[in-house]
Amino acid sequence: MTSPTLRVCALYPELMNIYADRGNIAVLRARCEWRGLGFELAPSSLGDPLDGAAHDLFYIGGGQDRDQVAVAADMAQTKRGALHVARERGAVVLAVCGGYQLLGHSYQLGEKELPGVGLVDLRTVRADGPRLIGNCAIEADLGGGPRIVAGFENHGGRTHLGPGERPLGRVLAGHGNNGEDGFEGVHADNVIGTYLHGPLLPKNVWLADRLIELALGVELEPLAGDEVEAAAHASARRAAGA
Ligand code: GLN
């Protein structure tokens, strides 16, 4: 049997890449290649078409408010339908911070309301209060029991999930979605949004492996020799105090 190939689409890679979030893609690539799985990466940026059936994992990183203005309009116009097709077929959508904020109904930025793609029921509002910044750790269960995701958050927006939505995790340390309700991120089917940078996956390779499993519908054996990755995870947890 030939090994499957993880087909990744990076949305707006040049615009949505605060905190070197493209490191998440590097980790997905490495963990596929180390296992002998294929890996393909295609970008889709402003004005580009998007085929919701052509990729197993759609990725969007964090971004500045000013870049989110153009990205939000483009996503709503040219990518919304494809992202809904992707969700329906069980593809993974992983969105970090600025990307996460655009998965829902809207991101209210002062007078301006940026559209979301309506994949999940959430709204984000740019509050007048301080930015929510710092190391963060959450407990999340993506099947197989609760595990810790650790990273770094820096956002002015506060995200509120609709009543039927499940958060990605419970905040152990840090602010999370809005600094108030103790929840972080969103997890709906295989759509995952989170405020955690780091980048996220180098510090949490268990999560990278789980996303590959969900995207390909396979079960992966653990990789031998993950000492550096385990140390990165431990250090991120320590930084958050969890
Ligand atoms: N611009 C958004 C905010 O400040 C997202 C920032 C980010 O991606 N870190 O809320």
Q: Which atom of ligand 1 is nearest to the CA of 153?
A: 9
Kindly give the pairing relationship between strand 132-140 and strand 147-155. Answer: antiparallel
Instruction: Report the nearest-CA residue for atom 5 of ligand 1.
Output: 98
Identity at 176, one-letter amino acid code? G
Mean pLDDT of 183-209: 97
Per-residue pLDDT tens over the stretch 94-120? 999 999 999 999 999 999 999 999 999
Characterize the bridge pairing of strands 57-60 and 5-11.
parallel
Question: What is the model's pLDDT at position 52?
Answer: 98
Rounded to whole angstroms, how far apart are CA atoms 9 and 58? 5
171: left (phi over 0), alpha (psi -120 to 50) or beta: beta
**Tens of pLDDT, residues 167-190:** 999 999 999 999 999 999 999 999
User: Which DSSP state fits 137?
Assistant: E
Percent of the chain's residues with pLDDT above 70: 100
Residues that are catalytic? 97, 197
Instruction: Give me the helices (H) in 114-221, please.
Output: 200-203, 205-216
Q: Is the confidence at residue 78, as pLDDT, over 90?
A: yes
By most ligand atoms within 8 Å of CB, the mutation choice from 68, 96, 97, 196 for ligand 1 is: 97
In this structure, are residues 103 and 191 in contact, taking their beta carbons and an 8 Å threshold?
Answer: yes
**Angstrom distance (rounded) from CA 42 to CA 29:** 12
> Are the beta carbons of 19 and 197 closer than 8 angstroms?
yes
- Which residues have CB under 8 Å from 69's CB, separation 6+? 109, 112, 114
In the chain, domain spans? 5-240
Name the band, by pLDDT with cuts 50, 70 and 90, for residue 2. confident
pLDDT of residue 172: 98
- Overall fold of domain 5-240: Rossmann fold (3.40.50)
In the reported structure, the alpha carbon of residue 132 is separated from the centroid of ligand 1 by a whole-number distance in angstroms of 10
Averaged pLDDT for residues 32-60: 98
Q: What is the pLDDT of residue 96?
A: 98
- Name the token pair of 70: 């153009």
Q: Is 25 a residue whose pLDDT tops 80?
A: yes
Task: State in Å: Cα 212 to ligand 1 middle.
Answer: 26
Q: Name which of 124, 115, 120 is nearest 97 in CA terms.
A: 124
Token pair for residue 28?
């997905």
Phi-psi region of 163 (alpha: psi -120 to 50; beta: other; left: phi over 0): alpha
Please give the distance, rounded to the nearest whole angstrom, from the Cα atom of residue 3 to the centre of ligand 1: 37
Note the pLDDT of residue 1.
Answer: 61
Give the ligand 1 atom nearest the CA of 124: 10
The answer to whether residue 71 scores a pLDDT higher than 90 is yes
Q: Is the pLDDT of residue 225 over 70?
A: yes
- pLDDT tens per residue across span 148-170: 999 999 999 999 999 999 999 99
- Reported pTM: 0.97
Using the mean position of ligand 1's atoms as its centre, give its distance from the Cα of residue 154 in Å. 6
Which residues' Cβ are closer than 6 Å to ligand 1? 18, 62-65, 68, 97-98, 154-157
